Structure 1
Amino acid sequence: MNPQPVYVFARWQVKDGHLDTVLQLLAILSEKSNAEEGNLFYKLHQSNTDKNTLMLYECYKDEAAVSAHRNSEHFQTMVLGQIVPLLESREALLTSYLF
């Protein structure tokens, strides 16, 4: 049985006044994440009604690739160390494709 891809939907609410910084960091993070061996894609979306609401849409080849991403130096340093302090809230949902 082949491992199933894992899709991540993450919603980030950026604190007022910090959107430009978060977007600059996400541009770098996206490039590094897309270069990961187990990453299939890493996309960023912005709400049409609230510019501070960002949705990350990611796909990894399997659970191990998600773990590798979350343990990567760029995730630890950029997401946890630099971006999270600039967020009001952050939630992520890991999913598998049904049909």
Structure 2
Amino acid sequence: MEQQPIHVFAKWRVQDGKLDTVLALLNQAAIQSRQEEGNLFYRLHQSTTDANTIVLFEGYANEEALAAHRSSEHFQTVVVGQIVPLLAEREVTVTTELI
């Protein structure tokens, strides 16, 4: 069975007054994530109607690459340890492409 790419959509609602801090940390996380062997892309988006809403669109070669990303030092330290506490809401959806 051929492994297919995994895509992650993460929607974050940043706490009021914390956006600049989150964006600086997110830039750091993005640079490191893009260097991972199994990373296909790591794209960051900001809502045009609510600046505190950030959407991440990430691609990984397979489930193992996503697992490696989630267990990486920068993900655990920067995203889980520093960014997540500054979020009011966090929704993450892991997908595979249908068509």
Same-fold call, TM > 0.5?
A: yes
Q: How many residues align?
A: 99
What does residue range 24-43 of structure 1 map to in structure 2 within 5 Å? 24-43=24-43
Could you tell me how far apart the structure 1 residues matched to 2:35 and 2:11 are? Answer: 22
- Cα offset, 1:2, TM superposition: 2.3
Partner of 2:28, secondary structure, is helix
The equivalent residue for 1:5 is 5
Could you tell me how far apart the structure 2 residues matched to 1:22 and 1:78 are? Answer: 10
Aligned CA RMSD, in angstroms, stands at 0.6
TM-score (structure 1 length as normaliser): 0.98
1:70 aligns with 2:75: no
Runs of 4+, deviation exceeding 2 Å: none
List runs of 5+ in structure 1 lacking aligned partners: none
Partner of 2:78, secondary structure, is helix
Could you tell me how far apart the structure 2 residues matched to 1:5 and 1:93 are? Answer: 14
List runs of 5+ in structure 2 lacking aligned partners: none
- Cα offset, 1:98, TM superposition: 1.0
Per-residue deviation, residues 14-53 of structure 1 (Å, max 9, x unmatched): 0000000000011110010000000000000000000000
